Amino acid sequence: MIVDCAVYREGQRSEGPEDFSDALAEARSAGGFVWIGLHEPTAGEFDLVSQEFGLHPLAVEDALKAHQRPKLEVYDDSLFLVLKPVLYEPRTDTVSTGEIMVFLGDSFVVTVRHGEGSPLGAVRSRLERERELLGKGPTSVVYAVADAVVDHYLDVATELQTDLEQLEEEVFSPDGGGSRHTASRIYNFKRQILEFRRATGPLVLPMTRLAGVGSYGAGVPFVAGGARPFFRDVHDHLTRVNESVEGLDRLVSDILSAHLAQMSVRQNDDMRKISAWAAMAAVPTMIAGVYGMNFEHMPELRWGWAYPAVIVVMAALEVLLFRLFKRRGWM
């Protein structure tokens, strides 16, 4: 569906004509631009937009089908940017992603959103309050959308860090680390971090190109040269996010290794305890087995104190073994 359509001149909003062609002509004549926002448009709705703005068929196909990696593609008449906003549900430790596609031309911006995450209404409202930034042209919309997505990455990374610290406390608690569900929780958490990484990692190259960092010094078409400092700021935030994600990934791997080591140590402790009790049970069993062989000539059988003596010997050996195993930490 078409969420919003407006023409902006010098940072001021005016409702655009219903016909996209008229809106674009009006924006160009006034030195402004038109911004159209769509949410999961149908093929018919998007065909109308793509024809009026001359969008490339391959980019249109990507925008309709979604499920794209973050990327930046340059076509003759427009720029195509794919972003993946991220949502994190702390109660279920689940990371989910949506998609935002941005088409940027000389006097227009078309944003296409898939999924429920990261609605762009707040971005549009913020831009309309910052008229100086909005007055820089359609590039300001691309910056604002990218900035909102990456800033939310930082929030998600912070939430993941908090939940991972709680999971770490549970793993190293006296009882929690022994739960049979702990390993599956750690592994599930690692999968969520991987999902988060799929959204943040591939975005580095597009932001590097837009910021003109390093070997990407040449300007990207349809992006105003004065916008580079803004995109460098987004690039810096994205770098922080990726460093945080890498740290989370390493930490959760270390926690999983520590948990498995804990389980191995506990199993060894259990085996030592079982072995100690088995050894203690073997001594009286051996003595009782000797006197249960029913040989005729066994001197102790005719001794009056034989039974009490054997019981005392068994008890003494049991106490001796118990103290020995206790001293060595086997009991």
Q: Which helix (H) or strand (E) holds 101?
A: strand 99-104
* Residues of the chain predicted below pLDDT 50: none
Q: Provide CB contacts within 8 A for 193, sequence distance 6+.
A: 95, 160, 245, 248, 249, 252
- Asked whether the beta carbons of 118 and 179 are under 8 A apart, the reply is no
Closest CA to 50 of 135, 108, 133, 119: 108
- What's the one-letter identity of residue 201? G
Please state, in angstroms and rounded to a whole number, the distance separating the CA atoms of residues 33 and 142. Answer: 13
The pTM (predicted TM-score) of the whole model is 0.77
Supply 164's token pair.
Answer: 């991972």
Tens digit of each residue's pLDDT (9 = 90 or more) over 13-62:
887 666 777 778 887 887 888 888 888 888 887 888 888 888 899 998 98
Please work out, in degrees rounded to the nearest 5, the angle formed at the alpha carbon of residue 80 by the alpha carbons of 224 and 65: 160
CA distance 26 to 19: 11
pLDDT on residue 201 = 92
C-alpha 70/C-alpha 51 separation (Å) is 24
Q: So what's the pLDDT on residue 221?
A: 84
What's residue 178's pLDDT?
A: 56
Q: What's the pLDDT at 295?
A: 66
| β-strands 12-15, 33-39 pairing | unpaired
